[in-house]
Amino acid sequence: MRDILLASASPRRRELLAGLGLNVQTHATNIDESVGEGEDAEALVARLAASKAAVVGARQSGSLVIAADTVVVLDGEILNKPADAEQNRAFITRLAGRTHDVFTGHALRLAARSEDVVVRTLVTFRQLEADEIEGYVLSGEGLDKAGGYAIQGRGAALVARLDGCYSNVVGLSLPAVVESARRLGVRLV
C-alpha cells in the first residue's frame, strides 16, 4: 500500500495510524465545522469527516484517504474544543461524575470508492475535587481537545470507566478504520 493520506493535522490521529506501522502523510483541511440547524452529533461528525476526505481525495487520487472528526456530547449538547481555560474548567466540571458520549465520524476514500462509519464510545468521569479540576485546566492539555480533555494524557486520570473503543476517544477508532479499509481492498494490519 502506498502512503496513507490523513485528512487531519491531528498529531494524535497520525500517531495512532503510525502505531500500525503505516507511512502517514498529514493534510490539513480548512472546512466550516459549524453545526447545521437541527443536526445531531452523529450527523455532524459524519458530514465533517466526509467533507475532509473529499477535499484531500480531490487533490490526491489513488491513495487511501482517511478523515475523522470527533465530538463529545453531554445531555444532548456538543462540547467542542474549549475556547479558553474558563470554558475548559466549565466542561470538566460538567463532565465530573457523569457519563458522556464520544462520537467520531470516519470517512475513507480510495479513488471513487468510499467507506463511512460513525463510532460511539461512552465515557464516565469519576467524581472530581475542585483542585483536581483546576490542576487539569492549568496543565493546558485540554484546550485543543473535544470536550476539553485528552484520555491519552493526564486526562486518563479523570476517567472511571469506558464502554466502547478507546482509540475512538483519542480521535480515531482503529478497529473501524482497519475494517473500513479492508472493505476497500486495503490491508492495514
- Active-site residue numbers? 69
105: Cβ–Cβ under 8 A, 6 or more apart, which residues? 42, 44, 45, 46, 47, 48, 49, 50, 68, 69, 70, 116, 117, 118
- Judged on CB neighbours under 10 Å (0-12, 13-18, 19+), 56 is buried
- Judged on CB neighbours under 10 Å (0-12, 13-18, 19+), 146 is buried
Contact between 43 and 68 (Cβ < 8 Å): no
The CA distances from residue 92 to 85, 108, 146, 183, in Å, are 10, 32, 11, 38
Determine how many CB atoms are found less than 10 A away from the CB of residue 169: 28
- The C-alpha angle 154, 160, 162, rounded to 5 degrees, equals 95
